[in-house]
């Protein structure tokens, strides 16, 4: 074979980094191009700035009316990794300022609020439990993926509404049939053990104050249909005490709605109706001697809904003194939240409901606590969201009670995912009460 007949070998590229190739070469790539440099600088600022701010004393703050997410436990398995994102987001030091800046920029440039209040697994928001509660279980707050529904519905005259009022009815986590069956099971378990059961459902603000809702909003028709069916069935089939008539009377008496314009909760006038309705249900006529008078000082507290859309707001209201016998003020200022069973007692007397009562509740009971403490000789309060963390403690606290009352806001019952509506929790309660009957 001649030299010319030998197979020719094509030359290979030298084993060098593409950044070292001549600039004219088609494969040349700079090691640090302009875009790469910008990306590196941005990454450096993103990761280093929070650390520097922390070292200088800055700390993250709550902007969603719920506790900042704790660092996930390694024992949570895969939940450790899924929980890291929420923890990292919550611990961005200037997140609140960034949200407000985004909203302000959107309003000034585009004339509309920033679009960060649109659905997609919105699990934060006002305590409805709660709120502390960050998800379907063990949270009081409704969870699930409600893409397309606003977190906050911006109504007329500055009124705001919690979007979960609508989303929980249009896209419930559990059918209403199943929720009612669970509540019926809970009632049977309590009553079969010789105790009395009371179910209280505070109406959503969208139910009681619809006049400030916008003319059009996502889910309007399906929520209205679902709400009508809900109130028909929750009172007739689940035996819930209908709080709506007394709330309407209270609103007519004070000449304004008994819900805050920029908060999802009711005012103290509404909260007193909860205490009065429960008292009347247990001891008819007991509130005839009740006398209330408004305290002179107005108090102010941050509104929960503006936080969810990068804004701020303040609730202004008055609290009341309650004298069950018409003379002696027995209201007490209690410390929230009631994560553990908290017992409060007062001396028996005229207008005071006797017996040992326990109330499993969400955040709608917080403003009512001072009036419950005044009108009930022995009342224990605990958030039903605590069933997720302290189930044994909460269930065992029911053993010596003669009355077990449950307060769950409308949206949480309609959504069907409150911790108290878990069939497993109801089974545990039923077993413990059956083992300790009240005779």
| DSSP code for 178 | H
Does 372 fall in a domain?
yes
Q: Are residues 279 and 378 in the same domain?
A: yes
Domain interval for residue 371: 152-435
Helix (H, G, I), strand (E, B) or coil at 162: strand
Does 136 fall in a domain?
no
Q: Are residues 84 and 164 in the same domain?
A: no
pLDDT at residue 335, as a whole number: 86
Contact by Cβ (8 Å): 370, 384: no
Q: Are residues 69 and 169 in the same domain?
A: no
The rounded average pLDDT for each run of 10 residues, N- to C-terminus, in the chain (439 residues) is: 57 64 70 67 69 66 59 61 62 61 56 52 40 33 61 95 96 95 98 98 97 95 96 97 95 96 96 97 97 91 91 92 96 89 96 98 95 97 92 96 98 93 95 94
pTM: 0.73
pLDDT at residue 152, as a whole number: 95
Q: Which helix (H) or strand (E) holds 43?
A: helix 34-55
Q: Are residues 80 and 228 in the same domain?
A: no
Does 121 fall in a domain?
no
Cβ partners under 8 Å of residue 165, min gap 6: 153, 204, 205, 206, 207, 223, 264, 410, 411
Does 109 fall in a domain?
no
| DSSP code for 259 | B
Contact by Cβ (8 Å): 169, 226: yes
Q: Are residues 77 and 214 in the same domain?
A: no
Does 59 fall in a domain?
yes
Contact by Cβ (8 Å): 298, 316: yes
Q: Are residues 159 and 286 in the same domain?
A: yes
Q: Which helix (H) or strand (E) holds 432?
A: helix 423-435
Q: Are residues 308 and 401 in the same domain?
A: yes
Q: Are residues 60 and 180 in the same domain?
A: no
Q: Are residues 187 and 74 in the same domain?
A: no
pLDDT at residue 129, as a whole number: 36
Contact by Cβ (8 Å): 275, 298: no
Within its chain, how far is the Cα of 16 from the centroid? 58
pLDDT at residue 41, as a whole number: 76
Does 12 fall in a domain?
no
Q: Are residues 164 and 88 in the same domain?
A: no
pLDDT at residue 120, as a whole number: 43
What's the total number of domains in the chain?
2
Please tell me the distance from the alpha carbon of residue 51 to that of residue 208, in angstroms, as a whole number: 46
């Amino acid at each position: 074979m001649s030299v010319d007949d030998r197979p020719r070998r094509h030359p290979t590229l030298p084993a060098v980094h593409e950044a070292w190739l001549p600039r004219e070469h088609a494969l040349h790539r700079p090691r640090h191009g302009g875009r790469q440099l910008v990306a590196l600088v941005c990454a450096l600022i993103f990761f280093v700035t929070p650390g520097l701010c922390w070292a200088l004393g800055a700390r993250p703050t709550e902007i969603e009316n719920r506790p900042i997410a704790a660092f996930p436990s390694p024992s949570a398995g895969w939940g450790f990794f899924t929980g890291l994102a929420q923890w990292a987001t919550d611990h961005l030091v200037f997140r609140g300022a960034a949200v407000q800046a985004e909203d302000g920029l959107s309003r000034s440039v585009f004339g509309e609020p920033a679009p960060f209040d649109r659905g997609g697994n919105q699990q934060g928001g006002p305590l409805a439990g709660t709120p502390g509660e960050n998800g379907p279980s063990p949270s009081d707050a409704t969870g699930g993926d409600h893409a397309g529904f606003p977190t906050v519905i911006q109504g007329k005259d500055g009124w705001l509404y919690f979007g979960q009022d609508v989303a929980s009815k249009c896209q419930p986590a559990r059918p209403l049939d199943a929720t009612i069956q669970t509540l019926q099971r809970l009632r049977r378990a309590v009553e079969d053990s010789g105790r009395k059961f009371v179910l209280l459902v505070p109406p959503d603000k969208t139910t009681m104050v619809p006049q400030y809702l916008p003319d059009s909003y996502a889910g309007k028709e399906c929520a209205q249909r679902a709400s009508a069916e809900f109130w028909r069935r929750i009172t007739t089939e689940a035996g819930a005490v209908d709080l709506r008539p007394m709330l309407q009377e209270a609103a007519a008496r004070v000449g304004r709605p008994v819900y805050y314009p920029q908060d999802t909760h009711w005012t103290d006038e509404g909260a007193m109706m909860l205490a009065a309705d429960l008292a009347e249900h247990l001891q008819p006529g007991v509130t005839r001697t009740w006398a209330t008078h408004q305290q002179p000082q107005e108090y102010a507290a941050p509104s929960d809904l503006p936080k969810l859309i990068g804004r701020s707001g303040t609730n202004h209201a008055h609290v009341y003194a309650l004298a069950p016998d018409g003379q002696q003020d027995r209201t007490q200022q209690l410390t929230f939240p009631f994560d553990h069973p908290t017992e409060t007692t007062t001396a028996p007397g005229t207008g005071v409901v006797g017996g040992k009562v326990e109330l499993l509740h969400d955040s709608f009971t917080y403003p009512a606590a001072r009036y419950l403490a005044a009108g009930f000789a022995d009342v224990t309060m605990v958030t039903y969201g605590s069933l997720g963390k302290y189930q044994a403690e909460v269930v065992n606290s029911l053993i010596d009670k003669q009355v077990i009352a449950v307060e769950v806001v409308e949206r949480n019952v309609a959504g069907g995912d409150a911790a108290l509506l878990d069939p497993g929790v109801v089974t545990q309660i039923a077993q413990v009460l059956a083992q300790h009957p009240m005779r």
